[in-house]
Structure 1
Amino acid sequence: MTDHLPDSTRIGRTALTVANLEESIEFYRDVVGLVVRANSETAATLGTETEPLLELRRDADATPRNRSQAGLFHNAFEVASRAALGAALERIRDRWTLNGASDHYVSEALYLDDPDGNGVEIYCDRPQSAWPRRDDGTVRIGTIPLDLEGVAAESDGAATVPDGTTVGHVHLETTSLEAAREFYVNTLGFEVQTELDRALFVSAGGYHHHLGVNTWAGRSQPRPVDGRGLAWFELLVPSAAALETIHDRLVATDVSVTDRENGFETTDPDGVTVRVGIA
């Protein structure tokens, strides 16, 4: 096992390539509740009033993802209260279709798809002191039905997510759980928190998961570079020293790294781009 990522490592922004930019903006603004921070004919940035969380890039010629290709399972937006989760449920019921809702012991979560079929999770964490843990300290994640009416009853009626909302985690569909483990755990430095049937949940600092990977759909092809869906996601570390350590660790294991102005980017075994920068 290589060195672990710093405890304060977190997910930053994610970026999606979409077919219809206006349709996607309307969904993430009116249903998810993100604020439009910047908008042009070809791109938009959404998030909270203080933090960018999502980049949208229009490419009408991008190929749709097919059933055999790896890529995004869902982007997960973490809101800070059950009241905000209840407001999200109200918006979904009023304007969209709810695909699922689960109590994961550590969090309460709502699931839906965006106009391009990208999965979206909106969730609220329970206090970490209430998270069930195994004897080795790792988090035990489960799935039971969510009390939807209880969540709805606590809604604050807000049209937008509050400041403090983050991309709590990203969940990917991979072609190989073993290859994903080698890259994200043994090389990049995440720690395994939970293993389920054909799924792996990893994090930094004991969080329940910053990243999930699964093979539930039996994907067999890498993510197409020019396809719709997840273009990249951002991993933020606390310091330049941490950034350099991760960079050197990747290079030492012959993983290709491309320097960027504020960090670097690399790709996982399925062709998903990971941008690593300083928080």
Structure 2
Amino acid sequence: MTTSGAFLAGSLAGGPAQARGTTPGVTSAGAPMRIGTVALTVRDLDTVSRFYREVIGLTPIETGTGLARLGVGETALLELRHDPAAPLASPRAAGLFHIAFLVPNRTDLAQWLLHAAERRVPLQGASDHLVSEAIYLADPEGNGIEVYWDRPSETWSWRDGMVEMATLALDLNGLVAPVKTRDWAGLPIGSLIGHVHLQVGALDASDRFYADLLGFEVMTRYPGATFLGSGGYHHHIGTNIWNSRGAPVRSEPTTGLADVEIVAEPGTLETLRSRLSPEQASEAGPMGLPLRDPWGTSITVVTAES
């Protein structure tokens, strides 16, 4: 979500409250399926890599010819693939809406915001989504970014089996007011990509892929958008048609989203395999199960390490 005109403040669902989802301790990382490494194709590897190191706070994990892998600790979150000749992706094309970096707590988000303010980083929005608080910006090649923290899952509200989310103004002064000392040394251990929000051409077709095939559960809907999660999490995948309604299959190569890695528990992966066509299942290899959504966005499902 962002604070763009596509959103109005308020609940995303109505009706009598239900008990679903009130379980304490639900997290993005604890779900049967969650986001692993996200890959972007970039034209200027040095500039984009420096941005994610110096602004977002990732650390280098692996560098090579035409490649940079960045993350937190020893965990790679972002892979940058260099293609200086790649045309810039159209803002109306299917692909990335934003990558969402999840920090462990509210103080971490406040510390990141103070860091961004010191560097005079242009922000695109800041929202209270009821389940989370989020700040939005973009990298030097226009890829959308969210930095956010989750409120504890036992505080989330549910109606008609859907999690209640909204887009309310986030009080940035109130966010940073409790911070007594500046303490920023990059994204803290425990940070991860909590979700990825995608632009798609049609919601019904994206539901068939991300819900019916991959097995994510629809957690809530909004005009022009669907939010899907695993294990009771508010969303690991967001899809919307705000800019991309009717978008065709993506042309390649372009800048922007190159692949989303989904990490699945072994049993969850086997259940997914049972839903695949023989042709899709035959593509599985040692690097995972490569799939493409209806617009050609690459999704790679891998098994969680024991």
- Give the 5 Å matches for 1:141-220: 141-155=165-179, 156-219=182-245, 220=247
Letter in 2 for 1:72: L
Structure 1 counterpart of 2:118, from 94, 98, 113: 94
User: Residue 66 in 1 paired to residue 93 in 2?
Assistant: no
- Give the 5 Å matches for 1:228-247: 228-239=255-266, 241-247=267-273
Gaps of at least 5 residues in structure 1 are: 1-5
Number of the residue aligned with 1:48 = 72
In structure 1, distance between residues paired with 2:227 and 2:117: 29
User: Residue 261 in 1 paired to residue 283 in 2?
Assistant: no
Structure 2 counterpart of 1:11, from 35, 42, 56: 35
Tell me how far 1:221 sits from its aligned partner. Answer: 2.6
In structure 1, distance between residues paired with 2:289 and 2:203: 24
- TM-score computed with the length of structure 2 as normaliser: 0.84
In structure 1, distance between residues paired with 2:281 and 2:178: 47
In structure 2, distance between residues paired with 1:276 and 1:22: 29
Stretch of structure 1 that moved more, 32-41 or 175-184? 32-41
Stretch of structure 1 that moved more, 156-165 or 95-104? 156-165
Tell me how far 1:80 sits from its aligned partner. Answer: 0.2
Letter in 1 for 2:99: N
Are the counterparts in 1 of residues 33 and 268 from structure 2 also a CA contact under 8 Å? no
In structure 2, distance between residues paired with 1:263 and 1:218: 29
Tell me how far 1:259 sits from its aligned partner. Answer: 1.9
Number of the residue aligned with 1:108 = 133
Tell me how far 1:54 sits from its aligned partner. Answer: 0.5
Number of the residue aligned with 1:33 = 57
Percentage identity across paired residues of the two chains: 42
Letter in 1 for 2:114: E
Letter in 2 for 1:63: P
In structure 1, distance between residues paired with 2:47 and 2:289: 31
Stretch of structure 1 that moved more, 152-161 or 35-44? 152-161
In structure 2, distance between residues paired with 1:226 and 1:183: 23
Distance 1:66 1:86, change over 3 A: same
Number of the residue aligned with 1:3 = none
Are the counterparts in 2 of residues 90 and 157 from structure 1 also a CA contact under 8 Å? no
Are the counterparts in 2 of residues 257 and 266 from structure 1 also a CA contact under 8 Å? no
Tell me how far 1:58 sits from its aligned partner. Answer: 0.7
In structure 2, distance between residues paired with 1:59 and 1:107: 35
Number of the residue aligned with 1:22 = 46
Distance 1:257 1:19, change over 3 A: farther
Letter in 1 for 2:293: D
Tell me how far 1:257 sits from its aligned partner. Answer: 6.0
Tell me how far 1:152 sits from its aligned partner. Answer: 2.0
Tell me how far 1:160 sits from its aligned partner. Answer: 0.3
Tell me how far 1:45 sits from its aligned partner. Answer: 0.7
In structure 1, distance between residues paired with 2:70 and 2:268: 28
Distance 1:154 1:53, change over 3 A: farther
- TM-score computed with the length of structure 1 as normaliser: 0.92
In structure 2, distance between residues paired with 1:34 and 1:170: 17
Tell me how far 1:135 sits from its aligned partner. Answer: 3.8
Distance 1:257 1:275, change over 3 A: farther
In structure 1, distance between residues paired with 2:112 and 2:249: 33
Cα RMSD (Å) of the superposition? Answer: 1.7
Secondary structure, aligned partner of 2:110: helix
Query: Could you give the per-residue CA deviations for residues 209-264 of structure 1, whole angstroms, max 9, x where no partner exists?
Result: 0000000113423322311100001111111x432321231226x75762231421
In structure 2, distance between residues paired with 1:255 and 1:182: 15
Letter in 1 for 2:126: A
User: Residue 133 in 1 paired to residue 158 in 2?
Assistant: yes
Stretch of structure 1 that moved more, 164-173 or 88-97? 88-97
Number of the residue aligned with 2:295 = 270
